[in-house]
């Protein structure tokens, strides 16, 4: 037993040395856990930011002026006054995302209680910004009308409830808090599959797999060495990325234990690294491996619940994805890092991930054994 563990350890060290001499993979790891995290958090914001807006003011009243002055940075650029005949041209050229049309006698109709129509034209090619912006514009206009009618005195409501909204875990609704952590989770899946798959294919292309086969080594020892070595690289990279990029550079507060998250990551890596080896046994070259990666890994990431909630997926797909460790990994990662969940809360999901990973690891080991037996 000790001899097997020593073999696994020494083979793993060999894997680390091989990785050290692969500048492309080294660069991919560094980029995935540094620049990729930062740009995803700061460059792909889901918040409304500096949206271009124009106003067609056909009323020229005090109320219409107040509405125009209410659109402020950082959500909107300062509104530009345009004519009604300029709407189509400016929106066709993408000059404005939103154009608010205030009709004649708007103020008089509001005071008379006639509920006048107010038109908002939206360029919905920017789908995310269009949906958020429509809500913001509706809220801003409604608030300004209420203030104007009540002379800046809050409206007295006869409603039986007083609705108060409180945002938990992300009070400022800052998208970078969510995006940065989810980018790390997605990169864990991507890099763990790529590293282990590339390690096996590299052995095959360089002819060193034959050298291993003539040694007193078992297939499971070769496979375990690749799993622990590449898994360790991912774990160290994740720990550094959380500390240096997420917490220090992006100033994202992590509510839970990073060590508990890394432990959960190690359980998930048991599955994803085995998946990388399994795909490498099916592929004959790196281009083929890349195609298999697209077919398998991308659906795992897109349907894991990190991009869209599991609840929004079709019921059949939800049931199928319960057998994917990526779903449970995303779930307990969010619970730990966002909501500060402890082991007493996430241990059932830990157990599910470990169980599925163990079963798939055994299956991948069988496939690996058959693939290298065919090389004799």
> How far apart (Å, rounded) are the C-alpha atoms in residues 196 and 233?
11
Instruction: Check residue 20 and give its pLDDT.
Output: 87
Which pLDDT belongs to residue 55?
94
Name the packing angle between helices 258-282 and 175-206 (round to 10°).
Answer: 40
Q: Is 72 left (phi over 0), alpha (psi -120 to 50) or beta?
A: beta
> Pairing relation of β-strands 98-102 and 119-122?
antiparallel
Q: Which two tokens stand for residue 9?
A: 């350890």
What is the 8-class DSSP label of residue 249?
I
Closest CA to 186 of 37, 68, 42: 37
Tell me the torsion sign for CA atoms 27, 28, 29, 33: positive
Instruction: Count other Cβ atoms within 10 Å, centred on residue 60.
Output: 11
Q: Which residues lie across from 85 on neighbouring strands?
A: none
Spell out the domain ranges in the chain. 2-44+174-373, 53-149
Q: How far apart are CA 233 and CA 247, in angstroms?
A: 20
Which helix (H) or strand (E) segment holds residue 208: the answer is helix 208-213
pLDDT at residue 154, as a whole number = 46
Q: What is d(CA 47, CA 71) in angstroms, rounded to the nearest whole number? A: 15
The per-residue pLDDT string of the chain (376 residues; one tens digit each, 9 = 90 and over) reads 788 888 888 888 988 988 888 888 899 999 999 999 998 888 766 667 788 999 999 999 999 999 999 998 888 989 999 999 999 888 888 889 899 999 999 999 888 888 888 899 998 876 777 778 888 898 899 888 888 887 644 444 444 445 566 777 777 777 788 888 889 999 999 999 999 998 888 877 777 766 676 677 777 888 888 899 999 999 999 999 999 999 999 988 888 899 999 999 999 999 999 999 999 989 888 889 989 999 998 888 888 888 777 887 888 888 898 899 999 999 999 999 988 899 999 999 999 999 999 999 999 988 888 877 665 5
CA separation (Å) from 85 to 43, 123, 179? Answer: 35, 17, 41
What kind and span of H or E run contains 80? strand 80-81
User: CATH code for 53-149?
Assistant: 3.40.1710.10
Does residue 90 contact residue 100 with C-beta atoms inside 8 Å? Answer: no
């Amino acid at each position: 037993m000790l001899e097997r563990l020593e073999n696994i350890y020494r083979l793993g060290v060999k894997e680390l040395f091989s990785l050290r001499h692969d500048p492309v993979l080294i660069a991919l790891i560094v980029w995935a856990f540094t620049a990729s995290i930062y740009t995803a958090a700061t460059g792909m914001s889901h918040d409304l930011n500096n949206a271009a807006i124009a106003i067609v003011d056909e009323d020229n009243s005090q109320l219409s002026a107040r509405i125009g002055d209410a659109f402020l940075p950082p959500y909107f650029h300062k509104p530009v006054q345009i004519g009604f005949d300029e709407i189509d041209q400016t929106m066709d050229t993408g000059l404005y995302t939103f154009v608010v049309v205030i009709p004649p006698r708007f103020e008089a109709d509001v005071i008379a209680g006639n509920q006048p129509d107010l038109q908002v034209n939206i360029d919905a090619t920017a789908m995310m910004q269009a949906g958020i912006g429509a809500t913001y514009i509706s809220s801003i206009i409604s608030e300004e009308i209420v203030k104007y009618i009540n002379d800046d005195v809050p409206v007295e409501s006869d409603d039986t409830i007083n609705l108060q909204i409180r945002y938990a875990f992300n009070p400022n609704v800052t998208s970078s808090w969510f995006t940065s952590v989810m980018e790390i989770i997605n990169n864990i899946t991507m890099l763990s599959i790529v590293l282990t798959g590339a390690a096996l294919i590299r052995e095959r292309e360089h002819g060193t797999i034959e050298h291993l086969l003539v040694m007193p080594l078992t297939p499971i020892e070769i496979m375990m060495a690749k799993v622990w070595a590449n898994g360790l690289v991912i774990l160290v990279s994740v720990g550094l990325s959380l500390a240096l990029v997420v917490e220090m550079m992006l100033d994202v507060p992590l509510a839970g234990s990073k060590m508990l998250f890394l432990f959960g990551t190690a359980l998930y890596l048991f599955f994803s690294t085995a998946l990388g080896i399994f795909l490498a046994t099916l592929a004959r070259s790196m281009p083929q491996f890349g195609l298999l990666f697209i077919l398998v890994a991308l659906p795992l990431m897109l349907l894991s619940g990190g991009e869209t909630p599991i609840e929004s997926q079709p019921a059949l797909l939800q049931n199928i994805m319960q057998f994917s460790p990526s779903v449970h990994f995303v779930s307990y990662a969010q619970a730990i890092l966002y909501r500060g969940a402890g082991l007493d809360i996430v241990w059932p999901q830990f157990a599910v991930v470990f169980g599925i990973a163990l079963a798939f690891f055994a299956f991948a080991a069988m496939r690996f054994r058959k693939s290298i037996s065919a090389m004799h």
